[in-house]
Amino acid sequence: MTIDLVLNGALRTVDVDPGESLMDLLRRLGCKSVKNGCDDGYCGACAVLLDGRAVNACLVFAARAAGCRVQTLEGLAREGVLHPVQRAALDLGAVQCGFCTPGIVMTALDLLARQPRPTEHEVRDALAGNYCRCTGYVKPVEAILAAAAEMREAPE
Amino acid sequence: MSLTGITSYLRPTTLEEALSLLDERALAVAGGTDVIRHPHQGVTTLVDLGALPLRYIRQDRGFAVGATATLTDMLEHPGLAGHLDGIIAGMLQGVGSPLLRNAATLGGHLARGRYSDVVPVLAALDATVTLFDGTERTLPLASYYQGGQHRGRGLITEVGIPAAGADTAAAFLKFTRTSFDFALLNCAVRVRLGREKEVAECRVAVGETPGLGAPVEPAAACLLDGPLDDDRIAAAAAIAAEAIPAQDDQRASADYRRALCRVGVRRCLAEARRRFEERRA
């Protein structure tokens, strides 16, 4: 079957298998930031924004994305300039092996769109579905708080 | 997890159309987060309910929650989240993760009918379920699961949550190994006090026994017409521990569940009492 979706701002018409997950579709389309960590909704490494909300792409049928806006990490940088959340993650040591980072960044974007001034507690709650086995979460939380502050000062 | 063997994915826009598409080879999909995780023998068609006009939360006297409202929609609805000292929001914050709650729907969750913190809370609140199977009917959530109705052909269209005033308090508690895991046991209570501060109405619901959350009527009945004091709370908790259909499974033994039930029901009732006292202060 064929569906239309807006992927990282561009209208795409794509063939999907009726049982295919959004994660498998996005990786097939070249969005390799969408990581297959567990394929079971636990790890959050495949988190993408579906109509602005962060979801596990492995738990959503690709066909459900028909007519929707889908955003992955690939769509964040503007002319080579990283998004503040990406920049902060790199600058503040929130990236070690990097496997979980795209999912954490997408989850953070969902949080910051609704809550530009999150507390540390709110950031930690938001990351409850994103596993990170390297950092112990301290650095990712710091990076998201720092990015939030920067985005408040210089909104897009 | 992509499913194999699925040959069509349909998105009906009316309930009648959705129902007409659901035969023995078809499965209804709401958020899809559970359907996509398991192979389904003999299923070749997925019927996505996402295009039906069922994603809403209306607040009137109580609340009407459309079947495809997500758990996040419920958490972010100020009225619903604040209802009865935030019992629904507090419970939902412990269900899965934000990523899951952004996709999982209330109707899908209830239709799935297993592993649920939502069911005991909604049962304690006397929630109703509206089903459509050609005609529409509304029944108490507690009876929806009796006789396996949730395995029937009817689609959940709406969940009703009755209003409650300052004379009512509720509480929920669950025991888990980790915050992400399903509960070993969970319980919810709702108490309405009368003029003399006597218990005028009471619900005690216990779940993951390992069966789905269900009212424990003898425990609630023993609290009626007297004060919500320590002795009566302890007695109700003991009755609940005896009355639940506890069984062994890989998560916990029946004996352990009864012990948890006694503690959980006692704590929930004490929490409800604390909330009444807070309001008076």
CA dist B237 and B222 (Å) reads 10
pLDDT tops 70 at residue A124:
yes
Element (H, E) at A133: none
pLDDT tops 70 at residue A156:
no
CA dist B192 and B45 (Å) reads 47
Q: In chain A, where are the structural domains located?
A: 2-75, 84-153
What are B118-159's pLDDT values in tens digits?
999 999 999 999 999 999 999 999 899 987 777 778 899 999
Query: How high is the pLDDT of residue B89?
Result: 97
| Window from A52-66, A126-140, B86-100, B145-159 with minimum mean pLDDT | B145-159
pLDDT tops 70 at residue A29:
yes
CA distances from B264 to B91, B218, B257 (A): 14, 16, 10
User: Could you tell me which residues of chain A have a Cβ less than 8 Å from any Cβ in chain B?
Assistant: 1, 17-21, 24, 39-42, 44, 47, 50, 53-56, 58-61, 63-64, 66, 107, 110, 125-126, 128-130
Tell me, which fold does domain A84-153 have in CATH?
DNA polymerase; domain 1 (1.10.150)
Q: Of the CATH numbers 3.30.565.10, 3.40.50.300, 3.10.20.30, 3.40.50.2300, which one belongs to the domain with range A2-75? A: 3.10.20.30
Average pLDDT over residues A17-31: 98
Query: How high is the pLDDT of residue B146?
Result: 84
Residue segments in chain B with a per-residue pLDDT below the cut of 70: none
Tell me whether residues A125 and B29 touch, CB distance under 8 A.
no
- Chain A positions touching B33 (Cβ under 8 A) are 41, 56, 59-60
Look-up of token digits 């009407």: B64
Q: Is A84-153 the same fold as A2-75? A: no
Per DSSP, the three-state class of A84 is helix
Tell me, which fold does domain B57-161 have in CATH?
3.30.465
CA dist B236 and A117 (Å) reads 45
DSSP B162-221: ----TTEEEEEEEE-SSTTSPPSEEEEEEEEE-TTS-EEEEEEEEE-SSSPPEE-HHHHH
Tell me, which fold does domain B168-280 have in CATH?
Enolase-like; domain 1 (3.30.390)
B3 C-beta neighbours (distance < 10 Å), count: 21
Q: Tell me the pLDDT of chain A averaged across its residues.
A: 97
Q: Is B168-280 the same fold as B57-161? A: no
What are A83-105's pLDDT values in tens digits?
999 999 999 999 999 999 999 99
CA dist B144 and B128 (Å) reads 9
Tell me whether residues A1 and B8 touch, CB distance under 8 A.
yes
Q: In chain B, where are the structural domains located?
A: 8-47, 57-161, 168-280
CA dist B98 and B88 (Å) reads 15
